[in-house]
Structure 1
């Protein structure tokens, strides 16, 4: 039975290995068949955080001194006025239902409250005991998400041809990492296109974007060992970004294939909607992967169940359901 847990101020190699063991065992049990994280990916996740956030980490130990459970709490920094926190709990399958998850959650809730956070969120697989675990601790379901996967070998032929379809008034632009200087400001402004995406009852802090923050985000992806790919629809009239899509792929992906890319946000500014730019952009990104990144075998993404439009776009591209999760939220005093 777990006997104690410890806050990690600076994770050691042993801490990272213990965290990796717990995380890998839990994922293999809960999401069989999906890729497991590498040791390097776990180390990066514990030591790298984006602007406006900081991490608090706890590792729980069993009677033999082995790691059996983890908690990663993402806290807002002083510059982040939203005061929203999120927590990720993981318990080794062999040590579940022994009270460690409850103790770690209690610790994380107390830490978030001490930082004057207003809400704490977490995400669990739909239809699993994790839902009742949270519900009995005053968390309420706030947003349901569908995760989807696309095997690049199964992309419909019509999708591969979509980038060649003219979109009068727009041109495609693409880059890796930070945007070119000529597009940096308008790309930052286009991030505002996410402000009206469905979020259910989940409280969200909308970031004020500028060119410098966009560049820092690209640098963060590089520090995480990821390549950040971007495609944008640029208005011919004024040269500004009307919409964009982006994804990441592992920087160290083996040439032999099998790598998984992660589709991130896609947004089109309200004034440019109704022209099919979202589908056009995402199909262009997929074409780019097929032509230029043979090491990538699949793309995964998640979309709010309320976002029917994007779910339909993904289905048209060939994405198929992978799993469903629920974001729960706790209102703090």
Structure 2
């Protein structure tokens, strides 16, 4: 494919791009990957804790299950690992999407390396037959924002990342009563079989949240899909924590909250889903399941420091609930996507590499 050749110190150079198997890579390669990712993380998210080696390598080996199977490549300049690219292929209902994640060391940006990495993984996207390419969500003013705009990516959704620092919330902050007519049920591990059907229905309510124009869709959960996710999460070594509000009169799940805990980030937890069925909204169930799960999680994981959650920027109701529980909004993130055919055309043309 055509396109401007990357440069270094004003001279044209070629990245040595290689596949990376995170289980077979030698320690020097993994160390180099960590140094690159940590530097990029510090530049892009200075408000977050530094990225440890354990977190960088662990994210390679244990990505979120919703991303689907993925492959990673690294780009080397001389003896230095300069950047990486990953292609992930989510499963139904997102079988038409390919996630492409590109990182470049901050000292090597604006030289065309990002575009070279993206160009090198495009054959894997084409091989997959996916018609839409998703980029890594980014801040509106991120270094990569003008780059992806120049490539033709569209912003189709905006979210806010909210952080909860557990030490800033007194224990009484989690003492939120469950509304009359409901009881709180919690578990970690497989979903209780007597709740799996109604739990799947409650998780479908996530689709009611604002989604902008994004092509990505949350699963239309079924009991079998819940069982499959339970198995995949266990096989990946991810620890799921779930709290649901069960309606006493029917024994059915009315609202739910799911958090994942990863071994490679022991002090952090990540909210996956929160939803309340339409017929049960307006009664405080969302706040009750969130608070109830935090009580259990902190009792079992007293070393937990941060909880991360992402909410649509227009979902002011959920944002306000999170604020009431002690979350603070850290940043806005834009989701970007482009039809694969259009990206092929853009990468075949000379590009302005200002931010890559």
* TM-score (norm: length of structure 2): 0.83
**Which position in structure 2 is the counterpart of 1:275?**
283
**Which position in structure 1 is the counterpart of 2:109?**
96
Counting only pairs closer than 5 Å after superposition, residues 175-194 of structure 1 correspond to structure 2 as 175-194=187-206
Shift of 1:266: 0.3
**Which position in structure 1 is the counterpart of 2:147?**
133
Distance 2:268 2:81 in 1: 28
Counting only pairs closer than 5 Å after superposition, residues 234-249 of structure 1 correspond to structure 2 as 234-249=246-261
Residues 54 and 265 in structure 2, CA contact (< 8 A), matched pair in contact too? no
Residues 156 and 318 in structure 1, CA contact (< 8 A), matched pair in contact too? no
**More moved, 148-157 vs 91-100:** 148-157
Instruction: Pick one of 76, 86, 93 that aligns with 1:61.
Output: 76
Distance 2:303 2:18 in 1: 38
Instruction: Pick one of 25, 32, 37 that aligns with 2:39.
Output: 25
Q: Secondary structure at the match of 2:175?
A: helix
Greater share of strand: 1
Q: State yes or no: 1:83 paired with 2:99.
A: no
**More moved, 294-303 vs 244-253:** 244-253
Instruction: Pick one of 204, 207, 223 that aligns with 1:211.
Output: 223
**C-alpha distance after superposition, 1:251-288 (max 9, x if no partner):** 4777xxxx122122101111221211101111112222
Distance 1:140 1:51 in 2: 22
Q: Secondary structure at the match of 2:296?
A: helix
Label 1:103 to 1:154 Cα distance change in 2 as closer, same or farther (>3 A). Answer: same
**Which position in structure 2 is the counterpart of 1:294?**
302
CA RMSD in angstroms comes to 2.5
Gaps of 5+ in 1: none
Residues 156 and 317 in structure 1, CA contact (< 8 A), matched pair in contact too? no
Distance 2:231 2:49 in 1: 25
Label 1:326 to 1:81 Cα distance change in 2 as closer, same or farther (>3 A). Answer: closer
Shift of 1:166: 4.4
Residues 174 and 325 in structure 2, CA contact (< 8 A), matched pair in contact too? no
Residues 303 and 310 in structure 1, CA contact (< 8 A), matched pair in contact too? yes
Q: Secondary structure at the match of 1:288?
A: helix
Label 1:75 to 1:157 Cα distance change in 2 as closer, same or farther (>3 A). Answer: closer
Q: Secondary structure at the match of 1:61?
A: strand
Label 1:37 to 1:216 Cα distance change in 2 as closer, same or farther (>3 A). Answer: farther
Q: State yes or no: 1:152 paired with 2:152.
A: no
Counting only pairs closer than 5 Å after superposition, residues 95-114 of structure 1 correspond to structure 2 as 95-114=108-127
Q: Secondary structure at the match of 2:101?
A: strand
Q: Count residues in correspondence.
A: 325
Counting only pairs closer than 5 Å after superposition, residues 38-49 of structure 1 correspond to structure 2 as 38-48=52-62
